[in-house]
Amino acid sequence: MITKKKKTVSSFRKMKQNGEKIVAVTVYDAPTARLADAAGVDLLLVGDSLANTVLGYENTLPLTVEESLHHCKAARRGAPDAFIVGDMPFMSYQVSCAEALNNAGRYIKEAGCNAVKLEGGTYAVAVVERLVAAGIPVMGHIGLLPQQILAAGGYKIAGKTPEGIELLLADARALEKAGAFCMVLEGIPAEVSKQLTTAVNIPTIGIGAGPHCDGQVQVMNDLLGLFSDFVPKHAKRYANLTETVSDALTRYCREIRSGEFPTEEHSF
Ligand code: KIV
């Protein structure tokens, strides 16, 4: 039997040093966590995209710590040995370092996460330092920040001007200095991500940030085609589960109404 070595924060730094791509994906429950881990994904993120992909909210802002923890616990039950990151919801780490620490601690102690993620660069430095000092590994997140949509006026690609690039470089360096073990780069032009990836020694994990990042993360529902209308430009659909599931359900309705199911075979 092949035993897989458990990932730790230093595994990811080594992967960057060795030029080995890091594969990450969002998961929201036990079955998706189990499948992703079995497929060889390196890092499972219980993203706050849980809000819109699974819980039916319009965006990530309404998600609560309780809701997020509920799904982190399920992911942990599905993949007991995986490296799981819990994504801290809007307003769970902005009020004070003490409140951030209290909430982040719950991801580790109650949900069994290996790390937490939070959005923001220089703005988030004090919180990142506080969590890291307490022994909680932190994944940073810069570029397009879904928790900032109200202030930004929507989902905006970052780093499109020389000033924007300077801000991103400052954010990336600040997160590294604060002790983050890796960072998500979201919605950033490919050449800018390349610059950011070379500027820091910790791994960059891109989503809509081109091919030069040290790794990639995708939203599970996007890559499985589990959406009906909007397909984000950065997403590649590896399956079309919307079609598969609706075909299956349509057949199920038809077969029950026609008496084709259940048969002897399904009866006791
Ligand atoms: O919540 C999420 O899905 C994320 C990814 C976009 C990185 O933060």
173 and 101 share a domain? yes
Provide the percentage of residues in the chain whose pLDDT is more than 90. Answer: 95
138 and 90 share a domain? yes
Radius of gyration for the chain, computed over Cα atoms and rounded to the nearest angstrom:
20
Domain range for 255: 241-268
Asked whether the predicted pLDDT for residue 3 surpasses 70, the reply is no
Note the pLDDT of residue 72.
99
- The residue to mutate among 52, 118, 193, 207, having the most atoms of ligand 1 within 8 angstroms of its beta carbon, is 207
192 and 261 share a domain? no
227 and 262 share a domain? no
| Residue 76 CB partners (closer than 8 Å, separation 6+) | 33, 84, 111, 112, 113
Give the phi and the psi of residue 93 in degrees, each rounded to 5. -140, 5
**Which is more confident, 3 or 95?**
95
CATH number at residue 206: 3.20.20.60
- Tens-place pLDDT, residues 38-52: 999 999 999 999 999
1 domain-assigned: no
| 137: DSSP letter | -
42 and 141 share a domain? yes
40 domain-assigned: yes
Atom number of ligand 1 nearest to Cα 48: 1
79 and 205 share a domain? yes
- Tens-place pLDDT, residues 147-183: 999 999 999 999 999 999 999 999 999 999 999 999 9
254 and 167 share a domain? no
112 and 245 share a domain? no
- Tens-place pLDDT, residues 226-258: 976 677 888 999 999 999 999 999 999 999 999
CB 219 less than 6 A from any atom of ligand 1: yes
Note the pLDDT of residue 228.
62
CB 186 less than 6 A from any atom of ligand 1: yes
| 89: DSSP letter | P
Give the phi and the psi of residue 94 in degrees, each rounded to 5. -90, -25
55 and 166 share a domain? yes
Query: How many structural domains compose the chain?
Result: 2
Note the pLDDT of residue 253.
98
